[in-house]
Amino acid sequence: MTTEITVPLTEDQKALLGMLTPQEQGFTRISLPRLGMYSQDKFEGKGKSAKLVKEAGMFYTEVETSEKDGEGKKIWNKEEIGTSIEGVILYHRKQLSHYDEASEKYTSSPIYDSAEDVVPLFSDKKEIHRGTPAELKAKYAYTDPKDGKVKSSLEELRVLYVLKDEQVYQMSLRGSSMWSFSTYAKSCLVSAVLTKFSSEAKENGAIAWNQMSFDAVRELTPEEADTVIDNVQKIATSIASEKAYFASLEANKNSMTNAVEELNTPLVEGKGMDNPEF
């Protein structure tokens, strides 16, 4: 076979070879820098010498570096960027999360989209449960002694993908900030407007915090809209690839399980290798 290419393959030939050749399965996971806001003041020290190190209502970014800490985890650089920012909310999804103060361990799910999604729940990098969000939340149900209502310690977070200064960030919302976003998302098409992110002080008894607020500044220009559409399509494609990958793994797992069960099933009397009806 010659090493010189004199005539290139036709598009039909490439397509046919693509169908006939086994392809490695995989996907590109969405990995983005983070965007967040401190919901409460945090001080270091006590009394008059206490120093404010985190101001409630201050927004910040976190960018992953190539450096690692003593435990081998990658270090993230954090930068405070002000008490109000502007950006475009490209997409929003959901995630389940629970923090056990006694064990200091997090339990969480991958990011998902709908109440019908079947998702795994992980703790210590091991899958511990699998089911719909409602089924998983039911496993962590408890009765609140304050109001007698049945609640779940497995919290549902809202995950936003935000375009700010030509960079896409991932932002997680919980509690009252999440409900504030839900109200805002019903008032406008969030991907078609420039949004101002700020906050307002809230109190409930002795607890004080800042709740994130969202306001539409203006509609996007046609040029801005094209940039948003391009980024949304990339996100949607990545999500679809990830779901297809895990769906294929689950299908292969079920296929292997069924094959093993069939092999372990005793032969029916009168049927076997000599009987083509088996």
Average pLDDT over residues 211-239: 95
> Is 263 part of any domain?
no
- Identify the pLDDT of residue 270: 43
Report residue 29's pLDDT band, with 50, 70 and 90 as the boundaries. low
Q: Render the burial of 155-175: b for 16+ CB within 10 Å, e for the rest.
A: bbbbbbbbbbeeebbbbbbee
> Is 11 part of any domain?
no
Q: Which residues contact 149 (CB under 8 A, 6 or more apart)?
A: 143
Q: Quick check: 94 pLDDT over 50?
A: yes
Q: How far apart are CA 110 and CA 122, in angstroms?
A: 8
How confident is the prediction for the chain on average, in pLDDT?
85
**Helix or strand (DSSP H, E) at 100:** strand 85-100
> Is 6 part of any domain?
no
> Is 278 part of any domain?
no
> Is 173 part of any domain?
yes
- Identify the pLDDT of residue 86: 98
Q: How many CB atoms lie within 10 A of CB 37?
A: 21
Q: Amino acid identity, residue 62? A: E
- Identify the pLDDT of residue 262: 56
- Identify the pLDDT of residue 31: 74
Lowest mean pLDDT among 69-73, 109-113, 129-133, 198-202: 69-73
> Is 128 part of any domain?
yes
Termini Cα distance of the chain: 47
Q: Quick check: 62 pLDDT over 80?
A: yes
Q: Quick check: 260 pLDDT over 70?
A: no
Q: Quick check: 250 pLDDT over 70?
A: no
**Helix or strand (DSSP H, E) at 249:** helix 222-263
Q: Quick check: 273 pLDDT over 70?
A: no
Q: How far apart are CA 20 and CA 257, in angstroms?
A: 27
- Identify the pLDDT of residue 30: 64
> Is 143 part of any domain?
yes
Q: How many CB atoms lie within 10 A of CB 139?
A: 13
Contact 231, 167 (CB under 8 A): no
Contact 141, 152 (CB under 8 A): yes
Q: How far is CA 261 from the centre of its chain?
A: 35
Q: Quick check: 177 pLDDT over 60?
A: yes
Domain that includes residue 163, residue range: 30-257
Report residue 181's pLDDT band, with 50, 70 and 90 as the boundaries. very high
Each residue's pLDDT tens digit, 185-205 = 999 999 999 999 999 999 998
- Identify the pLDDT of residue 264: 58
> Is 274 part of any domain?
no
Q: Quick check: 272 pLDDT over 90?
A: no
Supply the DSSP string of 200-234, one letter for each residue.
EEEEETTEEEEEEEEEEEEEPPHHHHHHHHHHHHH
- Count structural domains, the chain: 1
Average pLDDT over residues 158-180: 96
